[in-house]
Amino acid sequence: MQAEIERLFDEKPETYTEDHFRLFQRFKDALNAGAVRAAEPDAAAPSGWRVNSWVKKGILLGFRMGGVVDMSVDPGRQPFFDKATFPVKRFTPASGVRIVPGGSSIRDGCFVGRGVTCMPPMYINVGAWVGSGSMVDSHALVGSCAQVGENCHVSAGSQIGGVLEPVGALPVIIEDEVLVGGNCGVYEGTVVKRRAVLGTGTILNRSTPVYDLVRGVVHTAGGDCPLVIPEEAVVVAGSRAIPGGPGKEWGISLYTPVIVKYRDAKTDAKIQLEDLLR
């Protein structure tokens, strides 16, 4: 399937045939089942992850192939128009996913594991992966191709950035058992390793260094390597003073994330998610 997708992406036909649409449907079925994904673990990569460019090409191919159609439940009161190739994802009670009423949307072509809870309103975009037992809370976004592991909590108002282009760009990775606090933003291919905790309002991207007060190092992105937050790190929003010039004279500080500790029993007790909620 990879070779067929790449060929169709690189050699655009004058018209798309039924065989082309059947190929795309097979590809989308594989995305929905989690059989293929936009990024996957790779121990040989500096970040521990590698991007599958051909999968992103397949998603982009769907946008190229699809025409805009009316997807409205009630066209008169609340019209919706989108590409025919990407309707909303279909679930049944057997899927084992809780989608609480209230305006959430999950696009076709993403994997949502059993035991995931979706609190309204939230959005999961095409190509995303959300592992079993995770919660996507109110007003949260899981962007296109973003990877969220098992037993994570993406808290209310948080943004897990997505990326489709360039096809070789690594999407945001949130590994297993990570807590993303309220109103956080994780962007530009940042990798948050297993069991890390992001405190309320933490913003992570390629441009902002993360100061590790425990280990005495500064974590930065560089070249092909994204920003990587270590396992079990507890990250909070902080600031650093501008060392010279008008910034120093005016007493201005810049935002920076700070690792203040690594998870321990006290941290686990504070952030434990109750099984009753699930």
* pLDDT tens, residue by residue, 76-120: 888 999 999 999 999 999 999 999 999 999 999 999 999 999 999
Structure tokens at 230: 């270590």
22 is written with which tokens? 């059947």
Asked if the model's pLDDT at residue 276 lies above 60, the reply is no
- The per-residue pLDDT for 73 is 87
Would you state the pLDDT for residue 207?
A: 93
The answer to whether 117 and 101 are in contact (CB under 8 A) is: no
Q: Assign 10 a pLDDT band (cuts: 50, 70, 90).
A: very high
- Predicted pLDDT of residue 271: 75
Predicted structure pTM score = 0.94
Instruction: Collapse the DSSP code of 93 into the 3-class scheme (helix H, G, I; strand E, B; otherwise coil) and give the result.
Output: helix
Where residue 261 falls among pLDDT bands split at 50, 70, 90? very high
Percent of the chain with pLDDT over 70: 98
Express each pLDDT in 196-255 by its tens digit. Answer: 999 999 999 999 999 999 999 999 999 889 999 999 999 999 999 999 999 999 999 999
- Residue partners of 33: CB distance under 8 A and separation at least 6: 111
Condensed to tens digits (0 to 9), the pLDDT of residues 28-53 reads 999 999 999 999 999 999 999 999 99
Per-chain mean pLDDT for the chain: 95
